[in-house]
Chain A
């Protein structure tokens, strides 16, 4: 069974840093491109970052570019999101998710981890 399990969320002060992790199991992680998607409380979904299977290709949304860094460790079947210079508007549930471009198509999401940026 495919599983994605996020961890690392919590309360952080504005300007602080946090590292999210996403542990993958049940599939050959290194073959999958992956994304981070977030959802602010009561708001819609926002894609924030993409990484290819070999980490060669990486994209960021403008809202996080220069502050967030996506990475992966295929040996550990793990995806990461290093977040720095956090702001109140980064408060959201953060999901790791398989890539909608993946073929054959597979739909996998973690349960989400809540990041709250507040003094």
Chain B
């Protein structure tokens, strides 16, 4: 199984900050990676697919990069609604695996 190591596990930041979350795959997964945002009590929502493609309707302050084993999600200027938990997901092979999650909190 492909392991996804996500860091940091939690992050405190302020509105307007730039933040970066990283996911590392235990083996190469090409660009078969998505980033998901989950607010408390809600279903996950995809922000990025194919590592760097912005899902429609998602603000352009979100961006993704990487391929192979190293991936990043960047939020260029945090907004109040961005404080949530973020997960990476690899779908290069089954079982699909998620990162452990990054809880983004208000400083």
Could you tell me which A residues sit within 8 Å of B by CB distance? Answer: 35, 37, 44-47, 50, 59, 61-62, 95, 97, 99-101, 105, 107, 109-112
A-B CB contact pairs (8 Å), 12 listed: A44-B98, A45-B89, A46-B98, A50-B96, A59-B95, A95-B43, A95-B44, A100-B49, A100-B96, A105-B46, A105-B53, A110-B43
Distance A47 CA – B4 CA, assembled complex (angstroms): 13
Of B44, B96, B99, B101, the contact of A109 (CB 8 Å cutoff): B44
Quick check: A100 and B34 within 8 Å, CB to CB? yes
Quick check: B45 and A35 within 8 Å, CB to CB? no
Count, chain B residues at interface, CB 8 A? 23
Quick check: A45 and B45 within 8 Å, CB to CB? no
* Other contacts beyond A100-B46, A100-B49, A100-B91: 16, CB < 8 A: A44-B87, A44-B100, A45-B44, A45-B101, A47-B96, A47-B98, A50-B96, A59-B95, A61-B95, A100-B89, A101-B91, A105-B46, A105-B49, A105-B50, A105-B55, A107-B55
Quick check: B94 and A50 within 8 Å, CB to CB? yes
